[in-house]
Amino acid sequence: MSSIFLCAISNIKSGACEQDCAFCAQSISHGATIDRYSKKPIGTIIYEAKRAKERYATGFCLVSSGKSLTPKTLALVCDAAKAITDLDLGLKLIACNGVVADPEDLYTLKAAGVQAYNHNLETSEAFYPTLCSTHTWQERYRTCKHVGEVGLDLVCGGIFGVGESEEDRVSLLTSIASLNPKNVPLNFFHPNPALPISQPTLSQEEALKIISLARTCIPNAQKIMLAGGRERVFGKGNYTFFSYGANAMVIGDYLTTQGEDAKAELEALKTLGLEIAGACKEI
């Protein structure tokens, strides 16, 4: 296969979301025991960006909790993006900051050095109201449309294992395909006792079918990326998903859950003979 791509995440604003998404531990509605803070220091974000580069990540995503891109969050993301850009690390900067009502905010991010915007549809339009009552699926879709209109690369995926049907999965992936995303992150539900969802962890077989379906439904995506819940479904040191259509994964920690040791993962990928891409432009 071609080179695989690694992406790292920085949770720059954690656990302050007033939305009631049933799958998300960052919602204050659920009272999950997680780290909560309103603003990660720029120095810490820069440190994490440098560490991401050392771990061969080609993408670095600045993620904030909350429904939408507020003026305060916009300022924080822009400050972080400018500081990282000045270091010339060669990282592709991705922002993930919720619904965007005003496309001008996306132009502001772009001017600060952000190259892509991540906003997931999460699940099908029909199933979404069973997971969230505080905003609509249509708001998410409109945000994704705005991303393409302003010339940013779109990163758009979803979460699986939250009670959705096979038809919901096909519908979600078909909707994502209509947006022409560059990167499609696939998340698998990670249970938390505070969350209202009680679903068994997806089997590896079912997860591999989802990955193959994503590649089939969205053939033009440059990356099909394994993200949250990967380790829970596939276990430590299992990278079989790269044989089923995935060509990217998140390395390091996630938003509220811990990932595998990055050094060990890099060694494992090397042992398997998998080539890690040096820059996003290679694909």
Q: Tens of pLDDT along 136-167?
A: 999 999 999 999 999 999 999 999 999 999 99
Quick check: 183 pLDDT over 80?
yes
Q: Per the annotation, does 61 bind a ligand? A: yes
Q: Average pLDDT of the chain? A: 92
- Please state the rounded mean pLDDT for residues 209-228: 97
pLDDT 10s digits, 48-103: 999 999 999 999 999 999 888 999 999 999 999 999 999 999 999 999 999 999 99
CA distance 106 to 143: 10
For residue 3, what are the contacts with CB-CB under 8 A and spacing of at least 6?
247, 275, 276, 277, 278, 282, 283
The domains of the chain are located at 5-282
Helix (H/G/I), strand (E/B), else coil: 199? coil
Q: Exposure pattern of 97-107 as b/e (b: 16+ CB <10 Å)?
A: bbbbeeeebbe
CA distance 9 to 56: 13
- Please state the rounded mean pLDDT for residues 191-220: 94
Quick check: 2 pLDDT over 70?
yes
CATH of 5-282, one of 1.10.40.30, 3.10.20.340, 3.40.50.720, 3.20.20.70: 3.20.20.70
Instruction: Please state the separation of Cα 221 from the chain's center in Å.
Output: 15
Residue 245: CA count within 13 A, CB half-sphere: 20
H or E element that contains 75: helix 71-87
Quick check: 283 pLDDT over 50?
no
Q: Show the tokens assigned to 56.
A: 């061969």
Q: Per the annotation, does 21 bind a ligand? A: yes
Task: Give the per-residue pLDDT at 169.
Answer: 98
Task: Give the per-residue pLDDT at 279.
Answer: 40
Q: Exposure pattern of 29-39 as b/e (b: 16+ CB <10 Å)?
A: bbebebeeeee
Contact 65/16 with Cβ under 8 angstroms? yes
CA distance 159 to 187: 5
Task: Give the per-residue pLDDT at 1.
Answer: 59
Helix (H/G/I), strand (E/B), else coil: 276? strand
